[in-house]
Every structure is written in C-alpha cells, then in structure tokens.
Amino acid sequence: MRRLFAFAALLAASCSDNAGGDGRAEIYLQRFFGECGAQYGGATDVSKVEGECGIITAMINKFNANNPDVHVSSNVVAWPGYPQLSAQMAAKDPPDLVTMHTGVISDYAAEGLLEPVEPYLAEAGLSPSALTDASRSAVTIGGRLYGLPFDTHGGLFHINTKLFAEAGLMKGGKPVLPTSPEEMLAHARQFKERTGKPYLIQSLVGDNAYAARNVYTYLLAQNAVLFPNPRQIRLQTPEAARIVDFFRAITASGVSTRNQDTPAAIASFMSGEGGIYPTGTWMIGQFEAEANTPGRPLYQGYTVYPYPRLWGADVSYVSGHAWVVPRRERTPEQSRAIARFFRFVAEHNFDWARTGHLPAFKAVVESPAFKALPHRTNLVPVARTGRPLPGGVQRQNAIEGLVGEEIAAAFNGQKPTRRALADAERRVNALLAQTD
C-alpha cells in the first residue's frame, strides 16, 4: 500500500481528458452506498425516495437534470471501495469526486493525493463556518479542509421503551438514562429483575467497532490524551482501565447479552429481547419502521438517544461521510462543475439526513424540518458534542479493528483489562510505526 501511494503521488498530476465531446463538463464520480438503479435509476424527486442508495441516486439524477451543461457519470463500488480507488490513483486516472469515510481521509491526504476543498467551497458560496463543529473537525487536517462533509454518524443508545416502562425506568414519557457508571449498573440490575431480560444488548463477536466506539467515546469524555502524536496511541491509562473494567463488569454481571454478533444483536433488539442496543445512526430507519408496524415487538415502543454521560463531559465519538476531490488536472469548467455539485449537495443536506445520519450543516440541524423527523430532537446535541479522532492519525479503520478486538476480549472476560489495553497499545503503535 505504501508503494502504491508513493507511485500514485508521482502520477496523480497527469490524467486523461475528462472534457465531454458535446461541450459539457464531464465529472466522474465514484461512490459506495449500494446499487439500486433498477428501482431508482430514473428518479429525480429526492423527497420521494428512501434509504442511502435511493437518496444518493436520485440526488445525482436531479443534479444532471438541473445542470444540462454538466454531466456527472457515476461508478458504484463495492463497500468501501478504497482498494479500487488506490489502484485508480496509481493508474493516474482517479475520479473527480469520491465518497469517503472521514476517518480514511488522512491516509490519502498525507500522500498528497487529495486537494484541499476551500477553493471549491468559495466558488460554491459555502462558508466552512456553516458546517457543524462535528462535521468540520472530521475533515480538517493541519488547518485545511480535505472534503465536503455531508453527514455525521456515530453510536447511539437505541431503546425499547416498553421494556423500560416495565422496569420502572420511564419518567414523563422519556427513558431514564444513567448519569454515572454506578447508576447504569443499578438500572441494569433493576431492569433484569423486573423484566427478566438483559438491559444491554452487545454485539461483541466480530463487531470490533462497538468495543472501540465505547472506549473512544468515554476517553474523549474524560479529556484523555488518546493520541499524544499522530504516530502513537496511549491506552495504558487509568481512564481507559476505568471504562474497560466497567463494561467488563456489565457483561459478567448477567445484565447483558453475550456471544452475539451484529445480526444476532439486531434481531434480539427487534424481537424485544433487551432494553438498549448501542449501535449507529444508520439503524434509526429500520428500527423506526419496526416501531410503526402493528404486531411487531417494537411497535410504539422505540426511541433513541446519544450515549449517556457516564464520565467527564458530554462527548460522543463520531465519524462521517465526505465528498473528496482526488488531485489531478482539470479544466476550469470541470472545477466549476465540482463547486456547483458541492452547492447542490449542501442544498440537499436535509434529504440526506433522512437516512438517519446527522446533517453536516448547522442550518439543517437547527431547521424545523429536521427536528420534525422522528427522534431527531434527541440527537441534535451530537452535532455539537461529537468529536472524531485527531485528523492527522492515519490508518484509523485498521486501528479501530485492533483496539476493538482487544477491548472486546476484555469485555467478554477473555483477557484481563490491563493485558488487553497493553496489547492494543502495542499492536497499534507497531502499525503506526510502519506508516510512511
């Protein structure tokens, strides 16, 4: 991969001509989120489609319909698409626009393969100050913006309110969430005693993101220095041990599910087999559909909130999706077309927020239309309190896998806390030491 990036960095400046033969500015866009052309290939009314794939497909269709002097051709890649993107960069033919997880941007920006996007934002009339704190920080590296964020996503507490009521944990129509580790354990025991079911549904088998997300969130909340510098992680700390010991105790005390992977955890929650399932924003739509279907266990019994404040400040670890611009030669018309597409994406940020992800723009977060969507008023604080990992840290996906694997082993009781933290720190630092 390092050789591939080095080769791409030398060649990215030269490229094939993207000018359309009919005089239109041709933009080549590459994205994930699935293929649904059979259903939405001709859709241009974004308000009438659903889901990530449907909404992004209709948006691109509408942009082409509204901009006859520009044509965006789309290539849908299998998730997440980065091996293909790296190969395209090495072959000196990168796309003009790419969907990218914000935690991956640093890998490409460090190699000089992405353009800072401030010139495109200026051309589009978009001020960086219009972005939410969470979305803006997720694309900022060394003071420069390397993508146009179009959402923020992270972990949430998805809650079965019927079971919470049975457990005596509803007040004023809202779930009572803990404000300390001790209170959470007390709630969990009360819940289990009164309902006979686990308070917490955990996907600790093959879902490294869940364990990593818990540790990241509550380390950031305690203002712990997780990365003293971009090449070093610090996990052998009292703050980290405190978090791992607590979730280890939750698992051991019998108030949580055990030995479940993600599909099993989702099925358990939708079947009414537990009180809280901590998972991402992307599950809101599916769970809300269950809550609106008569006869289903979640019918009229679902809500969702950010992770509760257990230690320190009210902070949530977040990531997001962004549009990035690979470095290559372009005509002035193509550059203006990218800026116009950025403007269009911003104008449709509310439509994208219907997926369950939080908007990237403050005006949308604060809009009555967004707050009118199910549960969104509960989630508005995340746009302010959400924090990503430091922008200069590379290999964030791989780091999440290593940290999650070790921490999940500790949560499950397969490793002592101190050993799991030491092993995670050692493995991540070894990985970062190899990053050029």
Whether residue 350 has pLDDT greater than 60? yes
Which strand (E) or helix (H) includes residue 306?
A: strand 302-306
The burial class, CB within 10 Å (0-12 / 13-18 / 19+), for 436 is: exposed
pLDDT score of 22? 63
Per-residue pLDDT band for 79 (boundaries 50, 70, 90) equals: confident
Task: Specify the higher pLDDT residue, 15 or 396.
Answer: 396
Whether residue 4 has pLDDT greater than 60? no
HSE on the CB side for 168, CA within 13 Å?
Answer: 9
With a CB cutoff of 8 Å and minimum separation 6, the contacts of 57 are 36, 37, 40, 41, 43, 49
Q: What is the mean pLDDT of residues 400-428?
A: 97
Helix, strand or coil, per DSSP, at residue 156:
strand
Which strand (E) or helix (H) includes residue 401?
A: helix 396-411
Distance CA 223, CA 312 (A): 7
Distance CA 39, CA 331 (A): 34
Q: What is the mean pLDDT of residues 194-208?
A: 95
For the chain, what is the largest distance between any 2 Cα atoms, rounded to a whole number of angstroms? 71
Q: What is the mean pLDDT of residues 175-187?
A: 98
- What would the pLDDT profile of 265-302 be if each residue is shown by its tens digit? 999 999 999 999 999 999 998 999 999 999 999 999 99
Cα–Cα separations (whole angstroms), residue 191 to 176, 197, 297: 11, 7, 17
Whether residue 123 has pLDDT greater than 60? yes
Task: Specify the higher pLDDT residue, 317 or 22.
Answer: 317
Q: Which of 10-19, 25-34, 166-175, 276-285 has the lowest mean pLDDT?
A: 10-19
Per-residue pLDDT band for 436 (boundaries 50, 70, 90) equals: low
Q: Which two tokens stand for residue 120?
A: 């495109």
- What would the pLDDT profile of 208-228 be if each residue is shown by its tens digit? 899 999 999 999 999 999 999
HSE on the CB side for 206, CA within 13 Å?
Answer: 7
Q: What is the mean pLDDT of residues 305-319?
A: 95
Whether residue 18 has pLDDT greater than 60? no
Ranges of each domain in the chain: 23-149+321-356+358-387, 154-318+394-432
With a CB cutoff of 8 Å and minimum separation 6, the contacts of 11 are 89, 90, 91, 92
Would you give the DSSP letter of residue 229? B
Q: Which two tokens stand for residue 94?
A: 């990168």
Proportion of the chain in helix, strand, coil states, percent, rounded to 5 = 45, 15, 35
With a CB cutoff of 8 Å and minimum separation 6, the contacts of 67 are 337, 340, 344
pLDDT score of 435? 77
Residue 285 phi, psi dihedral angles, 5° rounding: -60, -45
Distance CA 277, CA 39 (A): 31
Looking at domain 23-149+321-356+358-387, its CATH architecture is 3-Layer(aba) Sandwich (3.40)
pLDDT score of 11? 36
Per-residue pLDDT band for 428 (boundaries 50, 70, 90) equals: very high
Q: What is the mean pLDDT of residues 328-347?
A: 97
Mean pLDDT value across the chain:
93
Please name the residue that has the structure tokens 């060394």: 142
Matching fold, domains 23-149+321-356+358-387 and 154-318+394-432: yes
Q: Which two tokens stand for residue 114?
A: 């992405």
End-to-end CA distance of the chain: 10
CATH topology (fold) of 154-318+394-432 = D-Maltodextrin-Binding Protein; domain 2 (3.40.190)
pTM: 0.90
Q: What is the mean pLDDT of residues 308-333?
A: 96
Q: What is the mean pLDDT of residues 183-205?
A: 97
Which strand (E) or helix (H) includes residue 72?
A: strand 70-76
DSSP strands (E only) in 233-357: 276-280, 302-306, 316-319, 321-324
pLDDT score of 5? 44
Q: Which of 200, 204, 203 is nearest to 414 (CA)?
A: 204
What are the b/e assignments for 291-324, b being 16+ CB within 10 Å? beeeebbbeebbbbbbbbbbbeeebbbbbbbbbb
Would you give the DSSP letter of residue 256? B
Helix, strand or coil, per DSSP, at residue 42:
coil
HSE on the CB side for 115, CA within 13 Å?
Answer: 22
Distance CA 376, CA 353 (A): 10
Single-letter amino acid code for the residue at 92: K
pLDDT score of 15? 39
